[in-house]
Copies of this chain bind each other. A is one copy, B any other.
Amino acid sequence: MANISKKVSWSGRGDDRGERTPLLNGAEDGKYNRHVLHFVFQSLDYDNSENQLFLEEERRMSHMGFRCLETRRWVICGLIGFLTGLIACLIDIAVEKLAGYKYSAVKQNIEKFTEFGGLSISLILWAVLNSAFVMVGAIAVAFFEPIAAGSGIPQIKCYLNGVKIPRVVRLKTLAIKVFGVICSVAGGLAVGKEGPMIHSGAVVAAGVSQGRSTSLKKDFKIFEYFRRDTEKRDFVSAGAAAGVSAAFGAPVGGVLFSLEEGASFWNQMLTWRIFFASMISTFTLNFFLSIYHGKPGELSSPGLINFGRFDSDVSSYIPFESFIFFSFHFPGGVLGALFNVINYWLTIFRIRYIHRPCLQVMEAMLVAAVTATISFAMIYFSNDCQPLGQDNTEEYSLQLFCADGEYNSMATAFFNTPERSVRSLFHNPPGSYNPLTLGVFTLAYFVLAVWTYGLTVSAGVFIPSLLIGAAWGRLFGILLSTITSSQSIWADPGKYALIGAAAQLVTHACHLCFVLLEHEAHVCGLYDVHIKLQSVPFLHWEAPPTSHWLTAREVMSSPVTCFNRVEKVGRIVDVLSNTSTNHNGFPVVAHTTENDEPGKICGLILRSQLIVLLKHKVFVERASSRLSHRKLQLKDFRDAYPRFPPIQSIHVSQDERECMMDLTEFMNPTPYTVPQETSLPRVFKLFRALGLRHLVVVDNENRVVGLVTRKDLARYHLGKDGLEELHLAQT
């Protein structure tokens, strides 16, 4: 019963009152403790509060009414897909344009100075251009919306897991995210533009489904039915899927992503809607890109990344190759693990020392300049010249010191956007690269990518890891063909580039939606590291296997603040204002006896509901004195959702404090409860499967004895010495 390493420093307080919070991007006050769970993160409520108002509305609604709602859901998903596709299109075009200008300018400069000498000026030009782009992007992120940093996938994972992360689905976040990713990709950082698409899709979904924008202070008065956590999260799943679909051109991949993250709240119709949003999104992107490229209707680029077509069928291996391919997993896994470990320590370093916005901007600029310098040096010192083929598709091929009719092969890997580099590695004919080039490139790019991920810029990590994999995969293929010296079998090193890329992403990939699944598996390791570093109370799929000896009694918070069915306004205001017990859900009991004996449970009411009741002064005395008083409706709760005002902003006079409030109509009369003896895995399963926020623990007389919330469950995890318990800290 006692093999748990207790590290509890209990400070029962959790709140989200609009202060600037550290979130997932690192800015904190210089302290970092790996055994801490932050209290700042609230839970979403995936459980409907089925109070009388809600039941009355549902019962009034006809069968036709439900059909209407269903239709509206489809329309919203269509809109989400369309807008997400448009955003992807915008990002793609902007990046192409900006990168095009940059590389043209640098190329002209290099060509000019190759003859006269003085290439250091070209280097400076390149570094300055890169830094300038990155500076603009980093300033936007660091000063205006820090939540827009990184790929956004960890944040969306948390959101779908049920953690409410402040400002993550706001319009402002979207704007900064899109602007930031354009800057950082154009600025030549070792980043991709795919990850941010997922975050963008989620924001679009949250906005469209709610029919209003708080950032713009605009309420379209539509889709009001969907203004609650349950419905909103469904749409955010669809948005994330649409983002995946636009990024990778893989609608099925999008659906799988959403399933992976939110599957416990999932049903068949929802899957089809998510699929619909994904299809619309990839179609929209494809359609508008085809118009932009002047070939309207030629729908050949379904996603932001496009691997091109392989001449030889990638999926038909000769048997020996299967073994080779399995052996690819080993170096891929080692590199991936190394990436995660280094990045882990780097992130801790950043949390401790680089938390001021201006420092963050400067680090980003430094990385941009170093990226340019390293790239330039490698191109400069490489003497890997390749003949310029007729079907050469390199847009910015550099001749440099090569003979006429030849180009510098290192430049195709470094003097290019990462997506194009990946494509060159896959498709350039055998012999395009010499092994040394590839080896040095792999090493240098690995270092840059590790350093880059976690910068305060908006950027994804999928493409860099794909590129590293492609480079060493191709290297491996070349070496293999040298050893066996039979060019016929190992004819196409591009094939190895693909296998390498897939192996880097942990397992083998046959086609794209599958590549994505693996991306999940690999990069998710990285994401999980970052989620853990930020002390988010993330609930995994199951409780730790060795936690069966823990019961609800040990896990729950106790004592619990309860309210009576008819409660004094003054007490409610006092409880809500008490910052040391900043709870969000309160069991409602039949008769709290004064002598501290717990009362029988008869409902559960949320802080947000109480706030609305107080704001509208729904007091028993007023109801009886003034008959004309408008009855409170669900609409009033929906209008206040999701940013309910803080208790401090609501004025309650001394007289009103003496009034009574009848909670019967507004509380959830049938909250889920468990007995005290329930084992932790069982509590966990109930909590996770239903997406709960509060679970009331009762004794065998149905009296409230405790309350289980997300942090109570998330704080148990499997460490090296068995089950460990994390600190609960207030930020």
Q: Is A35 an interface residue (CB 8 A)?
A: no
Stretch at the interface among A202-210, A410-418, A477-485, A681-689: A681-689
Are B300 and A316 closer than 8 Å at their CB atoms? yes
Q: A271-B260, A318-B297, A682-B670 are in contact. Are A59 and B511 (CB under 8 A)?
A: no
Select which of B260, B316, B514 is within 8 A of A298 by beta carbon: B316
Q: A263-B259, A548-B59, A689-B689 are in contact. Are A252 and B702 (CB under 8 A)?
A: no
A300 to B317, CA, bound (A): 9
Copies in the complex: 2
- CB-CB under 8 A from A309, the residues of chain B are 313
A202 to B165, CA, bound (A): 42
- CB-CB under 8 A from A546, the residues of chain B are 61-63, 66
Question: Chain B's nearest CB lies how many Å from the CB of A552?
Answer: 8
Select which of B48, B296, B700 is within 8 A of A600 by beta carbon: B700
Contact pattern, A 691-722, Cβ under 8 Å of B = 1, otherwise 0: 00000001011100000000000000010001
Are B542 and A267 closer than 8 Å at their CB atoms? yes
Are B677 and A686 closer than 8 Å at their CB atoms? no
Question: Chain B's nearest CB lies how many Å from the CB of A688?
Answer: 9
Q: Is A549 an interface residue (CB 8 A)?
A: yes
Q: A316-B299, A679-B670 are in contact. Are A549 and B690 (CB under 8 A)?
A: no
How many A residues are at the interface, by size bracket?
A: 35 or more
Q: A59-B548, A677-B670 are in contact. Are A700 and B269 (CB under 8 A)?
A: no
Select which of B252, B269, B718, B722 is within 8 A of A513 by beta carbon: B252
A670 to B553, CA, bound (A): 13
Q: Is A541 an interface residue (CB 8 A)?
A: yes
- CB-CB under 8 A from A94, the residues of chain B are none
Residues 495 to 542 of chain A near chain B (Cβ within 8 Å)? 511, 513-514, 517, 521, 541-542
Q: A66-B546, A690-B689 are in contact. Are A678 and B673 (CB under 8 A)?
A: no
Are B670 and A675 closer than 8 Å at their CB atoms? yes
Q: Is A58 an interface residue (CB 8 A)?
A: yes
A318 to B669, CA, bound (A): 57
Q: A263-B263, A542-B267, A686-B672 are in contact. Are A679 and B317 (CB under 8 A)?
A: no
Q: Tell me the dominant secondary structure on chain A's binding face.
A: mixed
Chain B: CB-nearest residue to A302: B315
Q: Is A363 an interface residue (CB 8 A)?
A: no
Select which of B322, B549, B674 is within 8 A of A59 by beta carbon: B549
A511 to B702, CA, bound (A): 55
Which residues of A line the B interface, CB within 8 A?
A: 48, 50, 55, 58-59, 61-63, 66, 252, 256, 259-260, 263-264, 266-269, 271-272, 275, 296-300, 302, 309, 313, 315-320, 322, 511, 513-514, 517, 521, 541-542, 545-546, 548-549, 590, 600-602, 669-670, 672-675, 677-679, 682, 685-686, 689-690, 698, 700-702, 718, 722
Which 8 residue pairs spanning A and B have beta carbons closest together?
A297-B319, A267-B541, A58-B548, A66-B545, A689-B689, A670-B678, A59-B549, A702-B702
Not counting A58-B548, A689-B689, a sample of 16 additional A-B residue pairs whose C-beta atoms are within 8 angstroms of each other reads: A50-B679, A61-B545, A62-B546, A66-B546, A252-B517, A259-B263, A263-B266, A264-B266, A297-B320, A299-B319, A300-B316, A511-B511, A669-B675, A673-B673, A686-B690, A689-B690
26 contacts between A and B (CB under 8 A): A50-B679, A55-B679, A252-B513, A260-B271, A264-B264, A267-B542, A269-B541, A272-B521, A275-B517, A299-B315, A299-B322, A300-B316, A302-B315, A511-B511, A600-B700, A601-B700, A602-B700, A670-B674, A670-B675, A670-B677, A670-B678, A670-B682, A672-B674, A698-B702, A701-B701, A702-B702
